[in-house]
Amino acid sequence: MNVVLFLVKLFTSVKMMDSNLVSTIIPSYAKVTAHIGNAITPEVSYDSATKTVTSIIDAETWKKAINEIGSDSNGNKTISIDVKEVLGAQAYVQQLPSYIISSDTGQFHIKIKTPLASIVVPSDMFHGSNLKDEQVGLRVGLADTSKLDDKVKNEVGTHPVIELSVQS
């Protein structure tokens, strides 16, 4: 629950900073190069026009990972997705089957690690939201800070500012 509140705060901040969200292309396929324990390292595709890296986890890969991982003392599972760095990338989109983050229970968490940021998403993040698309994209990107007013720029200083969004 704490993670959801944290993400909601970030979404609110992003919306205030820049309402122009970058759309990305979705590659037609991707394959998993490594699946060790609770970590998945998917192949990535890079769109040089949008400077966006996209990776896809399909239902078969997800089922294999969720079946192989053990639970913690509370009965929860955490699956890590390690997205490879691509030089020059300004955004990373992780595509997942939508049912993964719209389950009835929060029995597992998805930790998506990108070079820009790591996020943890509970499996019930969109419970009851009726996601219509088969795939959903979780996007982490660098925010355009040039549109921020001087006061906010001073508060941010040299710290990176990211945008988080969900694409469906």
Percentage of the chain beyond pLDDT 90 is: 33
Q: What is the pLDDT of residue 62?
A: 87
Q: Provide the residue count of the chain.
A: 168
Long-range residue pairs from 84-87, CB within 8 A, at least 24 positions apart, any chain: 84/41, 84/44, 84/53, 84/55, 85/114, 85/115, 86/44, 86/46, 86/53
SS3 sequence, the chain? CHHHHHHHHHHHHHHHHCCCCCCCCCCCCCCEEEEECCEEEECEEEECCCCEEEEECCHHHHHHHHHHCCCCCCCCEEEEEECCCCCCCCEEEEEEEHHHHCCCCCCEEEEEECCCCEEEEECCCCCCCCCCCCEEEEEEEECCHHHCCHHHHHHHCCCCCEEEEEEC
Q: Residues 35-89: pLDDT tens digits?
A: 445 689 999 999 999 999 999 999 898 888 888 888 878 777 888 999 999 999 9
pLDDT digits (tens, 9 = 90+) for 90-103: 999 999 998 888 87
Mean pLDDT for the chain? 76
Between 125 and 33, the higher pLDDT residue: 125
Dist CA 64 CA 132 (whole Å): 24
Asked whether the predicted pLDDT for residue 7 surpasses 70, the reply is no
The predicted model gives 122-141 an average pLDDT of 83
Model pTM score: 0.73
Is the pLDDT score of 1 beyond 90? no
